[in-house]
């Protein structure tokens, strides 16, 4: 995806506030619980719930591009949400489109904005 219509995106954090070794947990106004994960200079957003036992993934670590569940060690690819190892292998968590504009992480949306950096699952 090459960009997004800023009007359809929700600002949720500053890029600099998202750590590189563990996720940032967020509770959104609409009730969704997500976690932001930073891998190098890219930010990803995923559901904050392990499908194995419904534990929050936000207590886990970021390991080789995966978010590791702190309770049973399941690893979820931050780009796809797919479980690549552990007791949830074959399952997935929901991932959300992310946009970075001027150091701000935006969640949601689907329309082009020139020059915006996006990650769209």
How many domains, the chain? 1
CATH classification of the domain holding 41: 2.102.10.10
Query: pTM for this one?
Result: 0.82
Domain interval for residue 23: 16-98
Is 80 domain-assigned? yes
pLDDT per residue as tens digits for the range 94-107: 999 999 999 999 99
Q: Are 76 and 60 in contact (CB under 8 A)?
A: no
The reported pLDDT for the residue numbered 112 is 47
Strand segments (E) across the chain: 10-14, 24-27, 33-39, 42-47, 61-63, 66-68, 75-77, 83-85, 95-96, 98-101, 104-107, 117-119
Q: What is the C-alpha to C-alpha distance for residues 86 and 29, in angstroms, rounded to an integer? A: 32
Ranges in the chain, pLDDT < 50: 1-2, 4, 111-115
């Amino acid at each position: 995806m090459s960009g997004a219509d800023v009007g359809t995106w929700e600002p949720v954090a500053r890029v600099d506030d998202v750590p590189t070794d563990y996720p940032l947990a967020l509770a959104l106004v609409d009730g969704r619980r997500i976690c932001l994960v930073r891998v190098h200079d890219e930010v990803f957003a995923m559901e904050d719930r392990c499908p194995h036992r419904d534990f929050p993934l936000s207590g886990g670590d970021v390991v080789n591009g995966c978010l590791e569940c702190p309770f049973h060690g399941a690893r979820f690819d931050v780009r796809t949400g797919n479980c690549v190892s552990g007791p949830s292998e074959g399952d997935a968590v929901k991932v959300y489109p992310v946009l970075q504009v001027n150091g701000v992480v935006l969640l949601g949306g689907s329309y082009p904005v020139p020059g915006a950096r996006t990650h769209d699952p």
